[in-house]
Amino acid sequence: MQSEADVNPADYVLDRKSGRLVKTDSEGRGDQAAAIASMAYLLLMLGLLFWQLFDVWIGNYWLARVLGYGGQLAALANPLFRLLAYTIIGGGLGGAVNGIRSVLNWHVEFRAFGHRYIWKYVTAPWLGATLAVFVFALVRSGVAVVGGDTLPQDADFRQSLSTLVLGILSGYGAREVFIWLDAQVTRLFKVNPPAERPVPDVVGLTREEATQLLAAGSFRLGEVAEEEVEDAAAAGRVIRQAPAPPQVLAAGQTVDVTVGRQIPGDGYSG
């Protein structure tokens, strides 16, 4: 185990995004090569995405033509498609910019880039574009509410710009978007806990009667113990239960009971 004297503060840096101290390792040649490759890739993606943004803006749709959709230009000119295209491109731009910022931070400033993180930067633009589509779909459906004019007048310039900004922010803040999406999933698909209800009083009933009454109240009979009783009328009947009224339990829970058992030889006569 490392002692406090062995800990070198220079080995730790503050991750500004998460606010945590992260232990760093010195870069090797493989790490440096991965950092350079990641930066080159992200800059290339940034240029391609800016080109696609301009291409969609002027209505040329070069990529769609290359993929064989040149005969569908009327459909591609649909305002909703343009908004979706802005969202995807914006998400890719945000992811690429966030990746570039991260490479500059860890490689240039801290010289602590790890080659194993190269996949993080390869997927950054694609992940940003995908998250932007998720957010766009949620906002358009009215399931979630965020700032920005994203619902009225599809052809409006202001809406096109706000949609692009929404995509960029979704891609750039991928970590926060994941947290936000988790909250939306929890809100939409939240499983309500079983309703609580008063525990029925089963004292004085037979075991079978107690089972039926508990089932009618959505409870189950739990452990059944026996205890000797002097009163013959209490034999075979519940003399104690846990929990007892007026306590409440969630539906489906169990109620333990104690059933009376007559003392052997109680019929003695002098």
**pLDDT tens, N- to C-terminus, the chain (270 residues):** 344 444 444 555 556 555 555 556 778 899 999 999 999 999 999 999 999 999 998 888 888 888 888 778 777 778 888 888 988 998 899 889 889 988 988 888 788 888 988 999 999 999 989 888 888 877 776 555 444 444 444 445 667 767 777 778 777 787 787 777 777 767 776 666 667 888 999 999 999 999 999 988 889 999 999 999 888 888 999 999 999 988 888 888 999 999 999 887 655 444
126: part of which helix (H) or strand (E)?
helix 118-141
Ordered DSSP codes for 146-187: -SS--SS-TT-HHHHHHHHHHHHHHHHTHHHHHHHHHHHHHH
Structure tokens at 196: 């609580």
Give the single-character DSSP code of 60.
-
**What structural domains does the chain harbor?**
4-188 (no CATH), 196-262 (3.30.10.20)
Name the pTM for this structure.
Answer: 0.56
